[in-house]
Structure 1
Amino acid sequence: MHQHSSSCNCGHCHADSQPGCSGKTRPVISKITSISAPSGESGCCSEAGCGSGDSPDEESDSTGSVPGYSWQIAGMDCPSCARKIENAVSQLPSVTQARVLFATEKLVVNASQDIRQQVELAVQKAGFSLTHSDTSQPAEPAPGFWQENGTLLVLVVLMLASWLLQQVSPLAGQIAFTVTTLFGAWPVACSALRLMRSGTPFAIETLMTVAAIGALCIGATAEAAMVLLLYMLGERLESYAAGRARRGVTALMALKPEVAVRLKGETRETVALSELRPGDIIEVAPGSRLPADASLESPWASFDESALTGESVPVERQQGEVIAAGSLSVEHQVRLKVVSRPGESAIDRILHLIEEAEAHRAPVERFLDRFSRIYTPVIMALALLVAVIPPLLLGGEWQPWIYKGLSLLLIGCPCALVISTPAAITSGLAAASRRGVLIKGGAALESLNAVRTLAFDKTGTLTEGKPQVTAIVSLNGENETELLAKAAAVEGGSSHPLAKAIVALADSRQLTVSQASAQRALPGSGVEAIVSGHKLLISAPARVPENCLSAGQSAQVEELESAGNTVVILLQDARPVGLIGLRDTLRAGAVEALRELRALNVQAVMLTGDNPRAAAAIASELGMDYRAGLLPADKVAAISELNQQNPVAMVGDGINDAPAMKAATAGIAMGSGSDVALETADAALTHNRLNGLATMIRLSRATHANIRQNITLALGLKGVFLVTTLLGITGLWLAVLADSGATALVTANALRLLRKR
């Protein structure tokens, strides 16, 4: 049974009875985007209460009436930098929400008044620079090699020179190490001072400055310099890792050209992307990328869509087909008609989903944030007690115990622990996006790791969603052509795939189709219209009145359905006059995709509103279980039942799949699906290939394992150095490995996900 379209405010056509559409106008996704959930995360080594001021476990919607401003940020090395910026901005008066989107390097601020100058000043004081993302202001050039690494390299040279001097003269060496320490500590101390003023007093920079100056005071000059060298090296490794993880996003952002060639008659003009509007005719030269989603005006053209879909072979498109922004024109110059508004192209939508994903943190990440808030002050208090209690109460020497206290201060920084989860998640999400799989954040990634059953919609998910008419059976002696013309008249203007198939066949046969009047969709029944003075109804067999079909006609319906067809009945003045059988084709790679899922011990079940016999034929080809004849509410009930046995993910593409996606442990949408399905889903297959599901499951499991490894590394190294420091086995410069070394290790371990096959 298929239901037919009526327009609503969502901008899409769907049946009157279909759930999932709120009736509200869908918000426009613009370049400056309001993000739904405040972060509220605690930064690395930050004190409790920093961030946006909200609980890290809470997600609240932005207030639509509060103005939003956005900037691009330069200078961030890791997620902890993002939290420092959030902390600095959130303390400004009038700011209701401040969020840093680390993946796209964007700062989004909601405020009750224009506070742009104050925000820019606060961020600059915290040590970062901003560029407006809502203007054409050119981005700052990337820093050069010496600009990024100059301090570190000079420090290495000074360390080597100090060591050589110490071999000749211990006193000269000690002086040289002191100078080296002061040189290395100066930028770190300045950064610590800026962060203190912006509201982050217990950052890693503060701890490193205290440890280095404290070591100088007790004469451990060489170790003080080594601490700073190891810290700077760890920061550079962290920055490199963050850049690697963000590379997929920045590459996506670079797909759209800065300008477009717009045609007005035969006049060509070069315009900025922001000036393009739906209906504009643009021209794209061979080797250039599309600036917006557009329908092809030329008779045909080939496009390289690999950057968006992962498909390496260029795809040939025909006139009228819509091509996504960022696709590369391969062979010749083409003309296209723009169909997307500025900020609403396929690339913009993916970037919006990536930004939205950062609001949905994994539960383990939120737990570690809460843990670090307790862990840092506890370790700092322990370091202070170790430094003063033994000399004061037990008669110990001050210098050795201060030395041990400073070592514990370095061990106490939770940077490696806090970054262990976001580093793995960022790498996992980046690896997924490279393969045409978009996962909306760490919470979705963790949910997918638990999934053991996948429930599939049929039409448009397991099948192409482009059914074709396979049989037309007359029940009253009329010929096939007359029946098809009547059915096409009733179905004219409908957006349903079955209706389109009937109309397309009539068009291909160049039939004369009568004008229909009083056309309306009947929720739960079908569609009816008045054609040539007769009331015609197209309906599913299960929705026609009882005893409407004779035994012989019912047998014909069963025969068509047993062959895998979806059958609709044409009734004229309440009497059946014809049967139309339609069959959809399996999506390419569906059989192989299900085989891969079974190898991962993931079961599959099909949930469809189609008739049981057609569903059985498709399920038999795929070797999977099925439940047929389901309305959207029935799918929700089926998902709830399956969820009681194992965590279930629902895979669908339509508005009617949205409730089931919401009810499942995780919802997965096909990239070609409706906006409601894409917004409801936790993940999407941008290339529409089902083998991306196995990729999604593998990456979620690998990321989960990587997080466990990272946490073990971070806590394990700290535990080892905590014990060895208290026992006097390891010294100050080795203690920094408990933080900088562990940070480098967990970051390198997370980067392995980028190479995950």
Structure 2
Amino acid sequence: MVEAGCLNLDRQLVLEVARPFDDRLIDRMGGRVALELAAKGEQTSIDDSVLAVLARATPLLAALALGLGLLQGVGIEGALARALTTLIVICPCALAIARPLASLAVVGAGRKCGLRIANPSSLDALARPGTVVFDKTGTLTSGTLQVTRIVSLSHLSTRELLSLAARAETGIDHPIARAIVAAAGANGPGGLRLARKAIGTDLDGKSVEVAGIAPDGDCQTRAATLEVRLEGVAVGQIYLDDQVDPGVAPLIGHLRRHGARLQMATGDALPSALNVGRAVGLEPEEIAASLSPLEKADLVRALARPVVFVGDGVNDAPAMAASDCSISVQRAHAAATASASVAILEGGLERVREAMVIARQYRSTGRRNAALALGYNAMVIPLAVMGTMSPLLAALTMTASSMLAIANSLRVGKARPHGAPIRHEQLTSDA
């Protein structure tokens, strides 16, 4: 099998195409994303539901007011006045205006906190998530490899071994190569990376190879284990690790205290996933490893709703589309950032907590608007139907209710100034 990115040096290749062009993994991922988005449909909030009920009830109540007026003998003019008054007081423009204004306010509040909120309607899921799913590499970890251990298998010192490896890795745009060169602090003449290995030469012109090997024992938890070979003979091993984001453990603890189920979904091997899981406070049963991008989406579909997925790469796209709210981290791929419901533009995973604060404010605003609309209509509709309210008074009360709903919507994000610490009551409030 010839892998993508391989470079043919000196041999003639005869390739057999085993699958059609549109059967690539990236094509299947794109198709799955489209299916998930189509199945999800438009998300409906509580004030949207109240708005729909009022819109359907308005003509019926106006007809009731007209009929009741005629039965009571107030004449056609008086009956029409009652119907007009009923139409005015029920007019659901308060909720119709308040929702877009709240969305605009929440986008502004997110920007002040280093967040880009692209889909405010998804914040209802973030306000009280049933399950939060994390990708591993680049999300729970920094995504930047670092040399953590060097073992010499020859007369070479660890410093000499690292310098030798750097001669093969210099000039290669690859995470492993960048980690080796950064640790060595010196550049070589430039190497060449083939599938799973880099090749170069030492000062004497001898061949140098840096190749990935299958880890064993404690090394299974490493992000990468490399073997350095000089003229084909192993002279040492270099271990690399991906550092855990320092903001992860506090976030995991916060989510667990507030009842959210937690899950790691990664394509990496189980030993490495377990190692990171232990570092951030996840239990072994909360870790799913060796998953393909499509299997990640299947996992999200099977979890308790609503599901929030936090990821960083193109391979997370199907799972992000299958979730109720998706969050991309600051170092995410541009495609993940563009498609996420919420994108972290500044800071680390601690921004997820701030996003939850904003989401709860947004949801509580919708609930207050719905309660205001229901209370207002319960009070004024009987007065309008019975004819004890004039059209002018109906217009004034309707305007007042609209102004209250608008003022309530504009409060989103203003409860905590930018840079102020998050208060415990903000994190736990479910108003």
For normalisation by structure 2, the TM-score amounts to 0.74
| Counterpart AA for 1:569 | E
- Are residue 427 (structure 1) and residue 105 (structure 2) matched? yes
Change (3 A) 1:379 1:559: same
Change (3 A) 1:586 1:414: same
Q: 1:669 aligns with which of 315, 328, 335?
A: 328
Superposition pairs of residues 707-726 of structure 1, within 5 angstroms: 707-726=366-385
Describe the superposition over 1:244-276 as per-residue Cα deviations: whole angstroms up to 9, x where unpaired: xxxxxxxxxxxxxxxxxxxxxxxxxxxxxxxxx
| Counterpart AA for 2:368 | Q
Distance across 2 between alignment mates of 1:569 and 1:628 = 29
Describe the superposition over 1:715-741 as per-residue Cα deviations: whole angstroms up to 9, x where unpaired: 331232111222244443432255212
Describe the superposition over 1:503-537 as per-residue Cα deviations: whole angstroms up to 9, x where unpaired: 1122x1x36x24434x33x3xxx234464574735
Contact kept in structure 2, 1:379 and 1:408, CA below 8 Å: yes
- 1:527: which partner in 2? 197
- Are residue 753 (structure 1) and residue 412 (structure 2) matched? yes
Change (3 A) 1:680 1:732: closer
Distance across 2 between alignment mates of 1:619 and 1:560 = 16
Contact kept in structure 1, 2:147 and 2:183, CA below 8 Å: yes
SS at match of 1:708: helix
Distance across 2 between alignment mates of 1:6 and 1:730 = 80
Q: 1:703 aligns with which of 353, 362, 375?
A: 362
Structure 2 unmatched ranges of 5 or more? 8-23, 31-36, 417-431
Distance across 2 between alignment mates of 1:494 and 1:516 = 7
| Counterpart AA for 1:748 | A
- Are residue 646 (structure 1) and residue 316 (structure 2) matched? no
Distance across 1 between alignment mates of 2:51 and 2:42 = 11
Superposition pairs of residues 236-275 of structure 1, within 5 angstroms: none
**Which protein has the bigger helix share?**
2
- Structure of higher RCO (CA pairs closer than 8 Å, 6+ residues apart): 2
Change (3 A) 1:390 1:430: same
- 2:260: which partner in 1? 602
- Are residue 445 (structure 1) and residue 123 (structure 2) matched? yes
- Are residue 539 (structure 1) and residue 209 (structure 2) matched? no
- Are residue 456 (structure 1) and residue 134 (structure 2) matched? yes
How many angstroms does 1:467 deviate by? 3.1
Change (3 A) 1:628 1:374: closer
Describe the superposition over 1:633-685 as per-residue Cα deviations: whole angstroms up to 9, x where unpaired: 1x542452354231332222233333432343332111232112212322111
Distance across 2 between alignment mates of 1:483 and 1:19 = 38
- Are residue 466 (structure 1) and residue 144 (structure 2) matched? yes
- 1:406: which partner in 2? 84
Distance across 2 between alignment mates of 1:497 and 1:400 = 79
- 1:567: which partner in 2? 225
| Counterpart AA for 2:191 | A
Distance across 2 between alignment mates of 1:592 and 1:373 = 45
In angstroms, what is the RMSD of aligned CA positions? 3.9
Change (3 A) 1:496 1:530: closer
Describe the superposition over 1:473-520 as per-residue Cα deviations: whole angstroms up to 9, x where unpaired: 1335544345324432443344443321111122x1x36x24434x33
Distance across 2 between alignment mates of 1:610 and 1:468 = 17
| Counterpart AA for 1:681 | A
How many angstroms does 1:438 deviate by? 1.8
SS at match of 1:578: strand
Change (3 A) 1:612 1:464: same
Distance across 1 between alignment mates of 2:232 and 2:325 = 44
Change (3 A) 1:722 1:664: closer
- Are residue 744 (structure 1) and residue 403 (structure 2) matched? yes
Q: 2:181 aligns with which of 474, 495, 503?
A: 503
Change (3 A) 1:737 1:588: farther
Distance across 2 between alignment mates of 1:731 and 1:6 = 80
Contact kept in structure 1, 2:248 and 2:349, CA below 8 Å: yes
Change (3 A) 1:486 1:367: farther
Change (3 A) 1:459 1:394: closer
For normalisation by structure 1, the TM-score amounts to 0.45
Contact kept in structure 1, 2:98 and 2:406, CA below 8 Å: yes
Contact kept in structure 2, 1:372 and 1:418, CA below 8 Å: no
Contact kept in structure 1, 2:126 and 2:356, CA below 8 Å: yes
Distance across 2 between alignment mates of 1:401 and 1:632 = 67
- 2:420: which partner in 1? none
Change (3 A) 1:609 1:441: closer
Change (3 A) 1:6 1:492: farther
Contact kept in structure 2, 1:424 and 1:753, CA below 8 Å: yes
SS at match of 1:755: coil
Distance across 2 between alignment mates of 1:663 and 1:572 = 48
Count the aligned residue pairs.
384
Distance across 2 between alignment mates of 1:687 and 1:657 = 20
Contact kept in structure 1, 2:146 and 2:241, CA below 8 Å: yes
| Counterpart AA for 2:44 | P
How many angstroms does 1:371 deviate by? 5.8
Change (3 A) 1:377 1:403: closer
- Identity over aligned pairs, percent: 27
Change (3 A) 1:734 1:595: farther
- 2:17: which partner in 1? none
Contact kept in structure 1, 2:167 and 2:189, CA below 8 Å: yes
- 1:396: which partner in 2? 74
Describe the superposition over 1:195-219 as per-residue Cα deviations: whole angstroms up to 9, x where unpaired: xxxxxxxxxxxxxxxxxxxxxxxxx
Superposition pairs of residues 278-357 of structure 1, within 5 angstroms: none
Contact kept in structure 2, 1:654 and 1:673, CA below 8 Å: yes
How many angstroms does 1:424 deviate by? 3.2
- 2:240: which partner in 1? 582
Describe the superposition over 1:54-82 as per-residue Cα deviations: whole angstroms up to 9, x where unpaired: xxxx99xxxxxxxxxxxxxxxxxxxxxxx
Change (3 A) 1:379 1:373: same
Describe the superposition over 1:145-204 as per-residue Cα deviations: whole angstroms up to 9, x where unpaired: xxxxxxxxxxxxxxxxxxxxxxxxxxxxxxxxxxxxxxxxxxxxxxxxxxxxxxxxxxxx
SS at match of 2:143: coil
- 1:480: which partner in 2? 158
- 2:15: which partner in 1? none
How many angstroms does 1:434 deviate by? 2.0
| Counterpart AA for 2:150 | I
How many angstroms does 1:692 deviate by? 1.4
Contact kept in structure 1, 2:140 and 2:248, CA below 8 Å: yes
Structure 1 unmatched ranges of 5 or more? 8-17, 25-57, 60-359, 543-553
Contact kept in structure 2, 1:20 and 1:659, CA below 8 Å: no
Contact kept in structure 1, 2:263 and 2:287, CA below 8 Å: no
| Counterpart AA for 2:238 | I
Contact kept in structure 1, 2:296 and 2:318, CA below 8 Å: no
Distance across 1 between alignment mates of 2:63 and 2:344 = 49
Distance across 1 between alignment mates of 2:82 and 2:326 = 51
Change (3 A) 1:371 1:397: closer
SS at match of 2:309: strand
Contact kept in structure 1, 2:227 and 2:236, CA below 8 Å: yes
- 1:436: which partner in 2? 114
Contact kept in structure 1, 2:170 and 2:189, CA below 8 Å: no
Q: In terms of Rg, which structure is larger?
A: 1
Q: 2:44 aligns with which of 347, 351, 363?
A: 363
Contact kept in structure 2, 1:606 and 1:625, CA below 8 Å: no
